[in-house]
Amino acid sequence: MLGQAVALLCLLAGDAGGLAFANAEPAWREKERLLENNKTLPCAASGTCSLGHTRQWTGDIYPLQGLRDCLRARVYRREIILVSENRLVAGFQLYDNMMQMGYDHIVLMSTEENCKRALRAWPQVSCIWSSQVFAATPKYMLDRHAFLPRAARLGVNVLCLDSDSMFLSDIYSHLKAPPLRDMALMALKDPAIGWLNSAVVYVQNARPDGPSVYVLNEVIDRLERWAEAREYMLGRNRKDFCWEQMAMSDILMSAVIGRPIAYGCWNWDRNVTYRDAWEGAHKRYFGYNETGGIGSWHFLKETKVPWPKSLAEHAPGFRRTEGVTHQQVIQIPNTQGVWPEEFGGPLYAPVRGNKSRAWMELIKSDGMPLWADPEDPAQAAANAANRELFTYLPEWIGIAYGQDGTSGYWNPALYRGANGTGTSPYALAHFYRLFGAPMNKLTVKMANNMWNWELSHLLHPRGGVFFASTEHAPIPDVLVYSPEVENREWVSHEEWDKATKALTRLAMEMGRTVVYPAPRCNLTWLGGERNNHLPLEIPMQFKHQCIPYSPSGKGFNDNRCMLGGYLMQGCMAARWYFAGGMFPPEYDHLVVHIRDKAAEHPVATVAAEQLARSWDSEELAKTLMAQHGGLGAGLFHPKIAEKLGAAAVPAVPAAAQKPRVLIIPSVLQLTDKVGPREQLYRDHEREDFNVMSCPWIQNKPFV
C-alpha cells in the first residue's frame, strides 16, 4: 500500500492521484479525516504532525528567493527535514517512513533530473536541487551541507538525514526535551572512531551569527578555499581536499578549543614520526600529555542521562535505564594572529578564490548578522564570547546496526507484541556500515517492514523492484525451497549452508534466480528458545553477519535469520553468467505481487519423488527444465550470445508452460560435479570481483 498518509495528502491537494473513492464527501470535509488521523500518528506525542499543513514545492534552492520559497512552503513550526539522496528508491522509502510518523515538513534533495523523475512517479513529493557549482567534491554531499547554514540563518530548525535512517517513533518529543532541548547543534557520534558523523545533524534555535551556524558554514567555506588553492596547498605539502565529514569533525573541534585546526584532514599518518609529532602537538594543546590520537572524550564531556520512559517502559524485555551524551560549549574560533607550524601552518591561501568569495556573499545576502572574522585577532574576545551548546545524540536517536540491529527492536512485527502495544526503545535508527554491501541498507528496511513496495513499483512500472531485476527480466524466474524445507529443524549451520548452496547451484544451471532460504532464529544453533521473545540474542559467530526478518503481522510465528555468505551484492545482482539471488522479504512480496496473475506468473512444484536420489546439477537442471517450461530467464540474457555466441544457449524441449516460481519440496542432494553454468561463473566472476563477487558460492570465507 502507498500509505494512508499519502492518500490523505492526495485528498487535501484535490487530486486522488488515480485512486477512486466511493461516496466522496465535499473536499472541505476530507480535512476532518486528516485531523482524526493525526491524533493517532506518532507525531502526536510532540504536536509535530505536519501532514496537511505544508505545500508541495519543487525547485532550485541555490538562489536566495528559491530557498525562501521552499522554506515558506515546507517548514512547519520552524522545522524542516532534509534528506539528500541520488537514489530515488532509497530517498522515497525514508520519505514514506517519515510520512507514516505524521511528518510532511520534508524535502528530498537530489539532482534536477532526478527531481523531475521523482515528480512523474510520485507527484506529492517535494524534491529540491541546487545549481550551485563547487570547486570541491562531491557535489551531492556538499549540496546538503550548503543547505544547513543557509536555512538555519533564516530561523529554521533543520534535521538533516542520510537515507540509511529509519524512524521508529516520534523524534521531536526527545529533541525538545531534556537533555537535548537546550542544545543548538547535535550530530551522531561515529560508533567506530568516536568523532562526528554527519549522517544525522540537527540544528535548532541557533543564532544566525553563532557558533553552530559557523560550524555548518565552515564545512563549505573551508573545502572551497582548499580546492581553489590547490597549487598553494600542495606547495606547502598540505592536502587541498578532505572528506566532508572529517572536515566537519575538525571544525567542531576548532569550535571547542577556540582555534581553527585541521587535525583529522591533515593527519596523513605517513609514518610513525610524523603521526606522533602531529598528534602530540594537538594533544598538548588540548591539555594532555599521553601519546595517541585525540578521541571525543578528550574534548567533550560525557554525561549519563536517563533513558526516556516513553521509549523504554513499553519496549518488551528492554533493560537499559540510562544512556550517554557527549556535550560541550562551542564558540567562534580565532587564530589570534598566528598559525602554529606544529598545527600545519596557515589553513588557507592568502587570497580567497572566486567560489569561496561567492559562497560567503551568498551567506551574507540573507541580511542576517554574521559572526566576527575568525582570522582577525582583534575579534578574539568577541569570538570567545559567542557561545552555544553542542552534543552528540544519545543512542535512542541514531542507534547503529552494529550496536543493536539484530535485537528485533527495529521491527514492529516483533516489538509491538501480540496486543500491539509494544514500542521500540529507539526513536531513530541509523544503519552506519553494514556487512556485505551498501545495498544491505535497503535489505534491512525490507526485513523490518519499513519498505513501501508500491513506491518501488511507481519507479519501476514493469515490476523491476528486485535486486536481481534486469531490463530483459524485470520479474525474474525463481527457484525456491518450500516453506516446509526453509522452516525445518536444521541441525547445524553446516547442514543449512550445504542445502542453500545446492539450491544456488541448481538455479545457476537453470538460469533462475535463487531465493536464499533463511532459517528460523529459534533454531538451537542460532539461540534457541531465547529468540522467541525480545531482545533477540544471536550467537556472536553469526550476530554481525545476520539480518533478522519477520513479516508484518507474523511476529514470532515467522521469525527468520538471513545469514552471512549470501548477504553480498555479488550474490544478489544478476549478470550475464548468473541470474542473481532474492532475499526472503523480496520473495514474500513477489508472491503477493503475482497472486492474482496466475496466467502470467504461474507457480509449480517439483515432484518430491524426483528428488529422492542424488543428481548432478546439470542433469537435474535439464530434467526440470524439460518438465517445467524450458530455460529460465537468466539463460536469455542478451550478453550471453554476445560473449559466447548463440550456440551457448542450450536447447531444451519443454513439455509445459514455464512457471515464474518453481518450488523445491525437499532438500536437494547434488554431487560435487561442477555444471557448465557454475563453471561459467567461476571463469567470469573475476571480471567484476570488486563489485559483484560472491565468494560464499565457492566456499570462500564471508568478508
Q: Cβ atoms within 10 A of the Cβ of 688, count?
A: 12
Residue finishing a domain among 331, 361, 392:
392
Number of domains into which the chain is organized: 2
Q: Cβ atoms within 10 A of the Cβ of 597, count?
A: 11
What is the helix (H) or strand (E) element at residue 650, kind and residue range?
none
CA distances from 314 to 175, 308, 421, 427, 449 (A): 20, 11, 7, 13, 20
CA distances from 365 to 89, 136, 315 (A): 35, 22, 48
What is the pairing mode between strands 157-161 and 79-84?
parallel
Residues 222 and 122 both lie in one domain: yes
- Say how far apart CA 48 and CA 175 lie, in whole Å: 12
Residue 402, in any domain of the structure: no
Over residues 639-659, the pLDDT tens digits come to 888 888 766 666 677 767 899
Q: Which residues pair with 605 in a beta bridge?
A: 663
Residue 197, in any domain of the structure: yes
Residues 165 and 298 both lie in one domain: yes
Residue 479 in this model has a pLDDT that exceeds 70:
yes
Residues 365 and 474 both lie in one domain: no
Residue finishing a domain among 365, 392, 419:
392
Over residues 668-678, the pLDDT tens digits come to 999 999 999 99
Over residues 330-373, the pLDDT tens digits come to 999 999 999 999 999 999 999 999 999 999 999 999 999 999 99
Residues 514 and 609 both lie in one domain: yes
**Confidence band, pLDDT 50/70/90 cuts, at residue 482:** very high
- Say how far apart CA 247 and CA 263 lie, in whole Å: 9
Over residues 16-60, the pLDDT tens digits come to 232 232 334 444 344 445 556 667 899 999 999 999 999 999 999
Q: Mean pLDDT across the stretch 513-532?
A: 98
Over residues 128-169, the pLDDT tens digits come to 999 999 999 999 999 999 999 999 999 999 999 999 999 999
- Say how far apart CA 191 and CA 54 lie, in whole Å: 35
- Whether 574 and 476 have beta carbons less than 8 Å apart is answered as yes
DSSP string, 307-375: PPHHHHTTSTT----EEEEEEEEEE----TT---GGGTS-SS-SS--HHHHHHHHHHHTT----PPPTT
pLDDT at residue 438, rounded to an integer: 83
Structural domain containing residue 502: 462-698
Residues 484 and 572 both lie in one domain: yes
Residues 375 and 476 both lie in one domain: no
Residues 387 and 481 both lie in one domain: no
If DSSP states are collapsed to H, E and C, what string results for 99-118?
Answer: HHHCCCCEEEECCHHHHHHH
CA distances from 225 to 349, 355, 628 (A): 7, 8, 65
- Say how far apart CA 318 and CA 289 lie, in whole Å: 41
Residue 447, in any domain of the structure: no
What is the pairing mode between strands 185-189 and 196-203?
antiparallel
Residues 114 and 228 both lie in one domain: yes
Residue 444, in any domain of the structure: no
Residue 440 in this model has a pLDDT that exceeds 70:
yes
Residue 378, in any domain of the structure: yes
Rounded to the nearest 5°, which phi and psi values hold at 302? -80, 130
Over pLDDT 70: what percentage of the chain?
92
Residue finishing a domain among 337, 364, 392:
392
Residue 555, in any domain of the structure: yes
Residue 274 in this model has a pLDDT that exceeds 90:
no
Q: Mean pLDDT across the stretch 6-10?
A: 43
Kindly state the cell numbers that stand for 388. 552555544
- Say how far apart CA 119 and CA 58 lie, in whole Å: 9
Q: What is the mean pLDDT of the chain?
A: 92
Residues 369 and 469 both lie in one domain: no
Residues 382 and 518 both lie in one domain: no
CA distances from 321 to 313, 404, 425 (A): 10, 16, 10
Over residues 398-411, the pLDDT tens digits come to 999 999 999 999 99
Residues 369 and 473 both lie in one domain: no
Residue 34, in any domain of the structure: no
Kindly state the cell numbers that stand for 120. 512523474
Residue 196, in any domain of the structure: yes
Residues 388 and 490 both lie in one domain: no
Q: Mean pLDDT across the stretch 594-620?
A: 95
